[in-house]
Amino acid sequence: MLAALLYGQEDLRLEEVVDPTPATGEVVIQVGVATTCGTDLKVWRRGGHAKMLKLPTLFGHEAAGKIVAVGAGVTSWQVGDRVVANNSAPCMECFFCQHQEYSLCPNLTWNNGTFAEYLKIPAPIVQHNLLKVPDELPWELAAMTEPLACVLHGVARSNIKAKDRVVVLGDGAIGLMFVAALSGKAEVLLWGGNDHRLEIGKKLGAAQTFNYHQISDIPSVVKDLTQGWGADVVIEATGVPSVWETAIACARPGATVNLFGGCPRDTTITVNTEQLHYSELTLKGVFHNTPEYVREALALIASCKIPFELLISEQRPLKDLEQVFCEMKARKVIKVAMIP
């Protein structure tokens, strides 16, 4: 089969590899659509990821498709089932899993390789994070289950109350998903650098949008909009260290700051200890998702209450994958549905 392999920093190669076969407890799906992701873009640009993969590796982690083979012992699934698989599953046995902190499980089973014709799903994911896709739901929408699950996990960890003013920093797919998930629950002020994406943010429920290219002092504008105090909740969705610091500066006393975007390995930021202490700030790093939010995400997508299709810029064949990542780097597209 044709598959994308990542060898290093911006070194992505399409190669013919052996078709996968399922071992005990596993299934193989024929990929219907694999969607590109900001995390994939960061991994491609940086040449690695602290948690998810080791080079060289099959690449990509968002996909939906149809089961074409099942391994021994698999009784809940059959050939022909339309499914979406999360890219991980917790072990359900460790200290953190026993405390229902599944995203912190040190034994997470990771799975990469969605940019390919076929994808093997490991047994723990089959057991805990493989879901049936409704017949009427397009592949490209179902494939967005994983990132939305991460966002819903982030929302749940952000201490958001009714009528809160929430600043979202970042107009990538994750930032826009945060806007959509918070629509009707809070007043969202979205900051980004692309007018087209900011317009999509408005359609997804942002009360106001701001282009940071036109405003140099983001915290001052946020305070002007909040009676001089700052936002009740700030969500950082870029993974840029300086924006982490900006997020903290946008927060009012007593606020929660969700540092959601993953920065490069070994990055440090500067935090004003006086502000942190006397303003009683809550700074949270939030990572990944849990089985609960994987199910909630697919249900929300399938409900069609939110036009998540706005995040899909276009469909492209797998042979265009490297060019698509170059276009993502240039911020010409948001998410692209790759067709094997």
d(CA 275, CA 88): 37
Angle, nearest 10°, between helix axes 38-46 and 321-329?
90
For the chain, what are the domain ranges? 2-147+288-339, 158-285
Question: If you count them, how many residues does the chain have?
Answer: 340
Residue with tokens 């998540």, as numbered in its chain: 308
d(CA 137, CA 303): 10
Query: Helices (H) and strands (E) in the chain — how many of each?
Result: 12, 18
* pLDDT score at 271: 97
CA 114 to chain centre: 15
d(CA 203, CA 183): 10
* pLDDT score at 338: 98
Q: With beta carbons less than 8 A apart as the criterion, state whether 77 and 56 touch.
A: no
d(CA 65, CA 35): 12
Residue with tokens 């140099």, as numbered in its chain: 216
Identify residue 276 by its one-letter amino acid code.
L
* pLDDT score at 49: 79
DSSP class of residue 21 equals -
At the top level of CATH, the class of 158-285 is: alpha beta
Q: With beta carbons less than 8 A apart as the criterion, state whether 113 and 21 touch.
A: no
DSSP class of residue 155 equals H
Half-sphere exposure of 334 (CA within 13 A, CB side): 25
* pLDDT score at 54: 84
d(CA 289, CA 310): 23
CATH topology of domain 2-147+288-339: Quinone Oxidoreductase; Chain A, domain 1 (3.90.180)
Q: What is the pLDDT along the chain (340 residues), one digit of tens a residue?
A: 999 999 999 999 999 999 999 999 999 999 999 999 999 999 999 887 767 778 899 999 999 999 999 999 999 999 999 999 999 999 999 999 999 999 999 999 999 999 999 999 999 999 999 999 999 999 999 999 999 999 999 999 999 999 999 999 999 999 999 999 999 999 999 999 999 999 999 999 999 999 999 998 999 999 999 999 999 999 999 999 999 999 999 999 999 999 999 998 899 999 999 999 999 999 999 999 999 999 999 999 999 999 999 999 999 999 999 999 999 999 999 999 999 9
Give the number of other CB atoms < 10 A from CB of residue 278. Answer: 10
- The beta strand positions in the chain, using DSSP E, are 2-8, 11-16, 27-35, 57-58, 63-70, 82-85, 88-89, 109-110, 118-121, 130-132, 165-169, 187-192, 208-211, 231-236, 251-259, 282-285, 312-317, 335-339
Q: With beta carbons less than 8 A apart as the criterion, state whether 121 and 85 touch.
A: yes
